[in-house]
Protein backbone atom coordinates (compact mmCIF):
# COMPACT_ATOMS: atom_id res chain seq x y z
CA UNK A 1 0.00 0.00 0.00
CA UNK A 2 1.32 3.42 -0.95
CA UNK A 3 1.53 5.94 1.86
CA UNK A 4 -0.48 9.12 1.59
CA UNK A 5 1.57 12.33 1.74
CA UNK A 6 0.70 14.35 4.82
CA UNK A 7 1.29 17.81 6.21
CA UNK A 8 0.86 18.94 9.81
CA UNK A 9 -1.48 21.77 10.78
CA UNK A 10 1.38 24.09 11.77
CA UNK A 11 2.83 23.82 8.26
CA UNK A 12 -0.61 24.44 6.73
CA UNK A 13 -0.99 27.58 8.85
CA UNK A 14 2.43 28.76 7.67
CA UNK A 15 1.46 28.16 4.04
CA UNK A 16 -1.81 30.08 4.45
CA UNK A 17 0.03 32.97 6.10
CA UNK A 18 2.74 33.08 3.42
CA UNK A 19 2.50 34.16 -0.20
CA UNK A 20 2.96 30.57 -1.33
CA UNK A 21 0.18 29.27 -3.53
CA UNK A 22 -1.95 26.72 -1.71
CA UNK A 23 -5.47 25.45 -2.35
CA UNK A 24 -7.42 24.24 0.70
CA UNK A 25 -9.98 21.52 -0.07
CA UNK A 26 -12.43 20.46 2.65
CA UNK A 27 -14.06 17.08 1.89
CA UNK A 28 -16.49 16.97 4.82
CA UNK A 29 -20.25 17.17 4.38
CA UNK A 30 -21.99 20.54 3.99
CA UNK A 31 -23.45 20.41 7.52
CA UNK A 32 -20.00 19.81 9.00
CA UNK A 33 -18.48 22.68 7.02
CA UNK A 34 -21.28 25.02 8.12
CA UNK A 35 -20.72 24.00 11.75
CA UNK A 36 -17.01 24.87 11.66
CA UNK A 37 -14.31 25.38 9.04
CA UNK A 38 -10.91 26.92 8.42
CA UNK A 39 -11.87 28.35 5.05
CA UNK A 40 -11.13 26.77 1.72
CA UNK A 41 -13.40 25.13 -0.80
CA UNK A 42 -15.99 22.52 0.16
CA UNK A 43 -16.42 19.47 -2.04
CA UNK A 44 -17.74 16.51 -0.02
CA UNK A 45 -15.77 13.30 -0.57
CA UNK A 46 -18.73 11.53 -2.18
CA UNK A 47 -19.08 14.33 -4.76
CA UNK A 48 -15.38 14.61 -5.58
CA UNK A 49 -15.32 12.31 -8.64
CA UNK A 50 -18.23 14.16 -10.25
CA UNK A 51 -16.83 17.60 -9.39
CA UNK A 52 -13.19 16.97 -10.27
CA UNK A 53 -13.36 19.43 -13.19
CA UNK A 54 -13.87 22.24 -10.66
CA UNK A 55 -10.33 21.60 -9.43
CA UNK A 56 -8.70 21.55 -12.85
CA UNK A 57 -6.90 24.87 -12.47
CA UNK A 58 -5.28 23.56 -9.27
CA UNK A 59 -3.79 20.39 -10.80
CA UNK A 60 -0.24 21.76 -10.51
CA UNK A 61 -0.81 23.60 -7.21
CA UNK A 62 -0.24 22.34 -3.70
CA UNK A 63 -3.67 21.04 -2.66
CA UNK A 64 -4.14 20.57 1.09
CA UNK A 65 -7.09 18.28 1.77
CA UNK A 66 -8.82 18.14 5.13
CA UNK A 67 -11.77 16.58 6.91
CA UNK A 68 -12.74 16.06 10.55
CA UNK A 69 -9.81 13.88 11.65
CA UNK A 70 -7.93 12.87 8.48
CA UNK A 71 -9.60 9.67 7.24
CA UNK A 72 -11.79 10.99 4.44
CA UNK A 73 -9.14 13.47 3.37
CA UNK A 74 -6.63 10.62 3.02
CA UNK A 75 -9.07 8.88 0.67
CA UNK A 76 -9.48 12.11 -1.29
CA UNK A 77 -5.71 12.59 -1.58
CA UNK A 78 -5.32 9.04 -2.88
CA UNK A 79 -7.99 9.76 -5.51
CA UNK A 80 -6.48 13.13 -6.47
CA UNK A 81 -2.98 11.68 -6.81
CA UNK A 82 -4.41 9.09 -9.18
CA UNK A 83 -5.97 11.89 -11.22
CA UNK A 84 -2.70 13.76 -11.66
CA UNK A 85 -2.79 16.16 -8.71
CA UNK A 86 0.80 15.38 -7.80
CA UNK A 87 1.04 17.95 -4.99
CA UNK A 88 -2.07 16.84 -3.07
CA UNK A 89 -1.44 16.29 0.65
CA UNK A 90 -3.55 15.21 3.61
CA UNK A 91 -3.79 17.62 6.56
CA UNK A 92 -2.94 15.26 9.42
CA UNK A 93 -5.58 15.28 12.17
CA UNK A 94 -8.11 17.40 10.28
CA UNK A 95 -10.09 20.19 11.90
CA UNK A 96 -9.65 18.51 15.29
CA UNK A 97 -5.88 19.00 15.09
CA UNK A 98 -6.42 22.56 13.84
CA UNK A 99 -8.61 23.23 16.89
CA UNK A 100 -6.04 21.68 19.25
CA UNK A 101 -2.94 23.36 17.85
CA UNK A 102 -3.89 26.48 15.85
CA UNK A 103 -7.30 27.93 16.72
CA UNK A 104 -9.40 26.67 19.62
CA UNK A 105 -12.43 28.60 18.32
CA UNK A 106 -12.71 25.93 15.61
CA UNK A 107 -15.32 23.60 17.07
CA UNK A 108 -14.50 19.93 17.65
CA UNK A 109 -17.52 17.70 17.11
Q: Which residues contact 54 (CB under 8 A, 6 or more apart)?
A: 43
Taking the CA atoms of 13, 93, 87 and 38 in sequence, report the sign of the dihedral they define. negative
Question: Which residues does the annotation mark as catalytic?
Answer: 67
Amino acid sequence: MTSIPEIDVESVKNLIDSDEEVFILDVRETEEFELTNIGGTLIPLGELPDRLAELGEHRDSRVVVLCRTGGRSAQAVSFLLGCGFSKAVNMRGGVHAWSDKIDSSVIKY
